[in-house]
Amino acid sequence: MAKRESQTINAGSMADIAFLLLIFFLVTTTLEADMAIKRELPPITDEPTPPIVLERNILRVQINLNDELFVNDEVIPIAELRDLTKNFIDNNGDGSCEYCIGEQLNTSSDNPRKAIVSIQSDRNSSYAAFVEVQNEVTAGYNELRDKLSQKRYGDDFEKLNYSQQMDIKKAYPLIISEADL
């Protein structure tokens, strides 16, 4: 009687194939980049109470659960937010800002150093709407900074050296408050 050979499959090459497939999928898969908003947090202070802020120095921007935009309780399209932000910040209500060109309304901010943009969003509003609002507000600040950069240094803000940029940032500090509705 002859011995029968065992009928097993050599699995050594299966591990090689699985490894090659794993490498193939790792190399060809693309990952979606995270959206992020770059913000610099204020320094920690030992002040026990926050300073008193006048209501006129706060621009209230609210996003409801339907992604509708309210500025000071009025519904506005997102396209108007940038100009509203610039007019609010550059108002020069107290007349102390020599570089501001605002209308000096008594219902808007005293000067850029006191102007606060408060962005409040509903928990159920979309992230895209929040980012769009952030972009428009930041673009308003950037346009004001570019205009002052051109006036003082004859160049765009991004092309200025560090000390010149700090001078412009001091003139138009980015003061944004974020909260839930």
pLDDT exceeds cutoff 70 at 181: no
DSSP 50-108: PPP--GGGEEEEEE-TT--EEETTEE--GGGHHHHHHHHHT--TTS--SS------TTS
Q: What is the predicted pLDDT for the residue at 35? A: 64
Pairwise CA distance, residues 151 & 139, whole Å: 18
> Per residue in 11-57, pLDDT tens?
678 888 888 999 998 899 887 776 666 777 667 777 766 678 889 99
Average pLDDT score over the chain: 88
**Two tokens at 80?**
């108007």
- The residue ranges of every structural domain in the chain are 55-180
> Per residue in 162-179, pLDDT tens?
999 999 999 999 999 888
Is beta strand 176-180 parallel, antiparallel or unpaired with respect to 58-63?
Answer: unpaired
